[in-house]
Protein backbone atom coordinates (compact mmCIF):
# COMPACT_ATOMS: atom_id res chain seq x y z
CA UNK A 1 0.00 0.00 0.00
CA UNK A 2 1.33 3.42 -1.00
CA UNK A 3 0.65 6.81 0.55
CA UNK A 4 1.31 10.39 -0.56
CA UNK A 5 4.34 12.22 0.85
CA UNK A 6 3.82 15.90 1.71
CA UNK A 7 6.49 18.60 1.71
CA UNK A 8 6.65 21.45 4.24
CA UNK A 9 4.41 23.54 1.96
CA UNK A 10 1.65 20.94 2.17
CA UNK A 11 2.01 19.82 -1.46
CA UNK A 12 2.31 16.24 -2.64
CA UNK A 13 5.94 15.35 -3.33
CA UNK A 14 5.65 11.70 -4.27
CA UNK A 15 4.66 8.36 -2.82
CA UNK A 16 6.04 6.07 -0.13
CA UNK A 17 5.41 2.40 0.57
CA UNK A 18 3.79 1.67 3.93
CA UNK A 19 5.50 -1.07 5.96
CA UNK A 20 3.63 -4.22 6.96
CA UNK A 21 3.21 -2.97 10.53
CA UNK A 22 0.26 -0.85 9.35
CA UNK A 23 -1.63 -4.07 8.55
CA UNK A 24 -1.41 -5.33 12.15
CA UNK A 25 -4.72 -6.33 13.78
CA UNK A 26 -6.38 -3.76 16.02
CA UNK A 27 -6.17 -5.02 19.61
CA UNK A 28 -7.56 -2.43 22.07
CA UNK A 29 -7.26 -4.93 24.95
CA UNK A 30 -3.49 -5.28 24.48
CA UNK A 31 -3.05 -1.54 23.98
CA UNK A 32 -4.86 -0.86 27.24
CA UNK A 33 -2.72 -3.36 29.12
CA UNK A 34 0.54 -1.94 27.73
CA UNK A 35 -0.41 1.67 28.59
CA UNK A 36 -1.47 0.76 32.12
CA UNK A 37 1.84 -1.06 32.60
CA UNK A 38 3.78 2.07 31.56
CA UNK A 39 1.66 4.24 33.86
CA UNK A 40 2.24 1.88 36.77
CA UNK A 41 6.00 2.30 36.38
CA UNK A 42 5.59 6.02 37.13
CA UNK A 43 3.82 5.50 40.45
CA UNK A 44 5.81 6.31 43.55
CA UNK A 45 5.16 4.03 46.55
CA UNK A 46 3.69 5.80 49.55
CA UNK A 47 2.50 4.94 53.03
CA UNK A 48 1.73 6.41 56.43
CA UNK A 49 4.00 6.76 59.45
CA UNK A 50 3.96 3.39 61.24
CA UNK A 51 3.42 5.17 64.58
CA UNK A 52 0.62 7.46 63.37
CA UNK A 53 -2.19 7.41 65.96
CA UNK A 54 -0.12 5.29 68.34
CA UNK A 55 1.78 8.02 70.17
CA UNK A 56 -0.38 8.06 73.28
CA UNK A 57 -0.21 6.98 76.90
CA UNK A 58 -3.69 5.43 76.67
CA UNK A 59 -3.81 1.81 77.79
CA UNK A 60 -6.32 -0.81 78.83
CA UNK A 61 -6.76 -2.34 82.29
CA UNK A 62 -8.77 -5.52 82.12
CA UNK A 63 -8.16 -7.18 85.47
CA UNK A 64 -10.70 -6.46 88.20
CA UNK A 65 -8.13 -6.03 90.92
CA UNK A 66 -6.07 -3.50 88.95
CA UNK A 67 -6.10 0.15 89.94
CA UNK A 68 -8.45 2.16 87.67
CA UNK A 69 -9.92 -1.07 86.34
CA UNK A 70 -12.07 -0.99 83.24
CA UNK A 71 -14.57 -3.52 84.52
CA UNK A 72 -17.96 -2.69 86.05
CA UNK A 73 -17.79 1.02 85.17
CA UNK A 74 -20.32 0.85 82.31
CA UNK A 75 -17.84 1.94 79.65
CA UNK A 76 -16.52 0.21 76.57
CA UNK A 77 -13.31 -1.69 77.25
CA UNK A 78 -11.02 0.44 75.08
CA UNK A 79 -7.56 1.86 75.67
CA UNK A 80 -8.22 5.10 77.52
CA UNK A 81 -6.18 8.01 78.81
CA UNK A 82 -5.72 7.50 82.58
CA UNK A 83 -4.42 9.65 85.41
CA UNK A 84 -4.50 13.41 85.83
CA UNK A 85 -6.00 15.81 83.35
CA UNK A 86 -9.03 17.97 82.64
CA UNK A 87 -12.42 16.31 83.16
CA UNK A 88 -13.17 16.19 79.44
CA UNK A 89 -9.90 14.43 78.64
CA UNK A 90 -9.76 11.81 81.36
CA UNK A 91 -10.78 8.29 80.33
CA UNK A 92 -10.99 9.33 76.65
CA UNK A 93 -10.52 6.43 74.18
CA UNK A 94 -7.37 6.51 72.04
CA UNK A 95 -5.25 4.23 69.82
CA UNK A 96 -8.01 2.03 68.37
CA UNK A 97 -9.38 2.81 64.87
CA UNK A 98 -12.88 3.70 66.08
CA UNK A 99 -11.59 6.29 68.56
CA UNK A 100 -11.04 9.99 67.89
CA UNK A 101 -7.35 10.55 67.06
CA UNK A 102 -6.87 6.78 66.85
CA UNK A 103 -4.83 4.90 64.26
CA UNK A 104 -6.17 4.19 60.78
CA UNK A 105 -7.60 0.69 60.38
CA UNK A 106 -6.04 -0.18 57.02
CA UNK A 107 -3.61 2.59 56.01
CA UNK A 108 -1.76 2.64 52.66
CA UNK A 109 1.39 0.56 53.01
CA UNK A 110 4.78 1.08 51.39
CA UNK A 111 4.90 -2.65 50.59
CA UNK A 112 2.13 -2.40 47.99
CA UNK A 113 3.34 -3.49 44.55
CA UNK A 114 2.38 -0.90 41.94
CA UNK A 115 4.57 -2.25 39.14
CA UNK A 116 2.60 -4.14 36.50
CA UNK A 117 4.39 -6.64 34.29
CA UNK A 118 3.74 -7.30 30.61
CA UNK A 119 5.35 -9.84 28.31
CA UNK A 120 7.73 -8.44 25.68
CA UNK A 121 5.82 -10.04 22.80
CA UNK A 122 2.54 -8.56 24.06
CA UNK A 123 4.15 -5.12 24.50
CA UNK A 124 5.53 -5.17 20.94
CA UNK A 125 2.19 -6.38 19.56
CA UNK A 126 0.45 -3.53 21.41
CA UNK A 127 2.80 -0.99 19.80
CA UNK A 128 2.21 -2.52 16.36
CA UNK A 129 -1.55 -2.39 16.90
CA UNK A 130 -1.38 1.24 18.04
CA UNK A 131 0.68 2.15 14.96
CA UNK A 132 -1.88 0.48 12.70
CA UNK A 133 -4.68 2.39 14.46
CA UNK A 134 -3.09 5.73 13.46
CA UNK A 135 -3.98 4.86 9.83
CA UNK A 136 -7.64 4.03 10.61
CA UNK A 137 -9.60 7.24 10.13
CA UNK A 138 -12.72 6.08 11.95
CA UNK A 139 -10.70 5.32 15.10
CA UNK A 140 -8.79 8.63 14.88
CA UNK A 141 -12.02 10.61 14.46
CA UNK A 142 -13.69 8.66 17.28
CA UNK A 143 -10.84 9.73 19.56
CA UNK A 144 -11.84 13.35 18.92
CA UNK A 145 -9.25 14.57 16.41
CA UNK A 146 -10.35 17.04 13.72
CA UNK A 147 -8.82 15.70 10.50
CA UNK A 148 -11.34 16.92 7.91
CA UNK A 149 -10.51 15.51 4.46
CA UNK A 150 -6.91 14.64 5.31
CA UNK A 151 -5.84 11.14 4.25
CA UNK A 152 -4.26 8.93 6.90
CA UNK A 153 -1.56 8.08 7.73
CA UNK A 154 0.16 11.43 7.17
CA UNK A 155 3.68 11.02 5.80
CA UNK A 156 5.85 14.14 5.41
CA UNK A 157 9.22 14.87 3.91
CA UNK A 158 12.35 14.81 6.11
CA UNK A 159 12.54 18.61 5.78
CA UNK A 160 10.01 18.81 8.61
CA UNK A 161 12.78 17.71 11.01
CA UNK A 162 14.68 20.94 10.29
CA UNK A 163 11.89 23.30 11.44
CA UNK A 164 13.20 25.33 14.37
CA UNK A 165 10.42 27.77 15.24
CA UNK A 166 6.96 27.30 16.68
CA UNK A 167 5.55 29.59 13.99
CA UNK A 168 6.96 27.35 11.24
CA UNK A 169 5.48 24.19 12.74
CA UNK A 170 2.10 25.90 13.19
CA UNK A 171 2.06 27.14 9.59
CA UNK A 172 3.02 23.67 8.33
CA UNK A 173 0.17 22.00 10.23
CA UNK A 174 -2.30 24.57 8.92
CA UNK A 175 -1.12 24.03 5.33
CA UNK A 176 -1.73 20.27 5.48
CA UNK A 177 -5.29 20.85 6.75
CA UNK A 178 -5.01 20.53 10.54
CA UNK A 179 -6.06 24.06 11.52
CA UNK A 180 -9.19 22.79 13.30
CA UNK A 181 -7.07 20.28 15.22
CA UNK A 182 -4.82 23.09 16.50
CA UNK A 183 -7.89 25.03 17.64
CA UNK A 184 -9.24 21.93 19.40
CA UNK A 185 -6.01 21.33 21.32
CA UNK A 186 -5.99 24.92 22.59
CA UNK A 187 -9.06 24.29 24.72
CA UNK A 188 -8.62 23.36 28.35
CA UNK A 189 -11.26 22.79 30.99
CA UNK A 190 -11.35 22.79 34.76
CA UNK A 191 -11.24 19.32 36.23
CA UNK A 192 -14.22 18.09 38.24
CA UNK A 193 -13.55 16.95 41.78
CA UNK A 194 -10.80 17.34 44.34
CA UNK A 195 -8.05 17.21 41.71
CA UNK A 196 -8.46 20.99 41.48
CA UNK A 197 -6.82 21.27 44.90
CA UNK A 198 -3.99 18.87 44.09
CA UNK A 199 -2.00 20.59 41.38
CA UNK A 200 -4.00 19.29 38.40
CA UNK A 201 -6.70 21.92 38.05
CA UNK A 202 -6.88 21.92 34.25
CA UNK A 203 -7.35 19.11 31.75
CA UNK A 204 -5.63 19.54 28.38
CA UNK A 205 -6.10 17.64 25.14
CA UNK A 206 -3.51 15.55 23.31
CA UNK A 207 -2.93 16.61 19.72
CA UNK A 208 -0.48 15.76 16.92
CA UNK A 209 2.41 13.36 17.47
CA UNK A 210 5.48 13.79 15.22
CA UNK A 211 7.43 10.57 14.71
CA UNK A 212 10.88 11.39 13.35
CA UNK A 213 14.17 9.58 12.74
CA UNK A 214 16.50 12.44 13.73
CA UNK A 215 15.97 15.66 15.66
CA UNK A 216 17.34 18.71 13.83
CA UNK A 217 15.33 21.39 15.67
CA UNK A 218 11.70 20.33 15.56
CA UNK A 219 11.84 18.93 19.10
CA UNK A 220 12.14 22.41 20.64
CA UNK A 221 10.00 24.03 17.94
CA UNK A 222 6.93 21.87 18.52
CA UNK A 223 6.98 21.50 22.30
CA UNK A 224 5.35 24.92 22.87
CA UNK A 225 2.29 24.05 20.79
CA UNK A 226 -0.44 22.77 23.14
CA UNK A 227 -0.90 19.02 22.91
CA UNK A 228 1.79 18.52 20.25
CA UNK A 229 4.59 16.04 20.96
CA UNK A 230 7.69 14.83 19.10
CA UNK A 231 9.16 11.33 19.45
CA UNK A 232 12.08 9.50 17.89
CA UNK A 233 10.97 6.33 16.12
CA UNK A 234 13.22 4.23 18.38
CA UNK A 235 11.44 5.56 21.49
CA UNK A 236 7.86 4.85 20.42
CA UNK A 237 5.66 3.28 23.07
CA UNK A 238 1.99 2.46 23.57
CA UNK A 239 1.29 5.46 25.79
CA UNK A 240 2.49 7.99 23.18
CA UNK A 241 0.41 6.35 20.44
CA UNK A 242 -2.64 5.76 22.67
CA UNK A 243 -2.79 8.32 25.49
CA UNK A 244 -5.20 7.27 28.23
CA UNK A 245 -5.37 3.77 26.69
CA UNK A 246 -7.38 5.17 23.72
CA UNK A 247 -5.77 4.29 20.39
CA UNK A 248 -5.96 6.39 17.23
CA UNK A 249 -3.77 9.40 17.99
CA UNK A 250 -3.25 11.76 15.05
CA UNK A 251 0.33 10.95 14.02
CA UNK A 252 2.71 12.38 11.40
CA UNK A 253 5.59 10.22 10.16
CA UNK A 254 8.69 11.48 8.41
CA UNK A 255 9.86 9.43 5.41
CA UNK A 256 13.03 8.26 7.16
CA UNK A 257 11.02 7.35 10.29
CA UNK A 258 8.63 5.32 8.13
CA UNK A 259 11.53 3.29 6.68
CA UNK A 260 12.99 2.74 10.13
CA UNK A 261 9.56 1.69 11.39
CA UNK A 262 9.58 -1.09 8.81
CA UNK A 263 13.05 -2.20 9.90
CA UNK A 264 12.07 -2.36 13.58
CA UNK A 265 8.54 -3.80 13.43
CA UNK A 266 8.37 -5.23 9.94
* Interval 76-125: pLDDT, tens: 888 888 776 777 677 888 999 999 999 999 999 999 999 999 999 999 99
Q: Residue 73 above 80 pLDDT? A: no
- pLDDT tier for residue 68 given thresholds of 50, 70 and 90: low
Mean pLDDT of 61-65: 73
Q: Residue 62 above 70 pLDDT? A: yes
Q: Per CATH, is 2-43+114-265 categorized as 3.40.50.1390?
A: no
Q: Residue 51 above 70 pLDDT? A: yes
Mean pLDDT of 11-29: 93
pLDDT of residue 146: 94
Spatial contact of 142 and 249, defined as CB atoms under 8 Å apart? no
Give 93's DSSP letter.
B
pLDDT of residue 82: 78
Task: Please state whether the predicted TM-score (pTM) of the whole model is above 0.95.
Answer: no
**Beta-sheet strand order (sheet of 12-17):** 12-17, 2-6, 154-156, 251-254, 209-212, 229-232
pLDDT of residue 86: 75
Q: Where are the domains of the chain?
A: 2-43+114-265, 45-112
Amino acid sequence: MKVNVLDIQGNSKGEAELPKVFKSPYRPDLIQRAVLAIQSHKRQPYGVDILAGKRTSAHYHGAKSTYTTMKNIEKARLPRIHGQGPPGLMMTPRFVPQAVKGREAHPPKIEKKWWQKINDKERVLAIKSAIAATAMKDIVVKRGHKVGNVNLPIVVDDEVQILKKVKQVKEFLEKIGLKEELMRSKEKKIRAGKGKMRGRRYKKKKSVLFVIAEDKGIFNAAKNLPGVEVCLVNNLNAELLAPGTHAGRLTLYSVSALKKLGEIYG
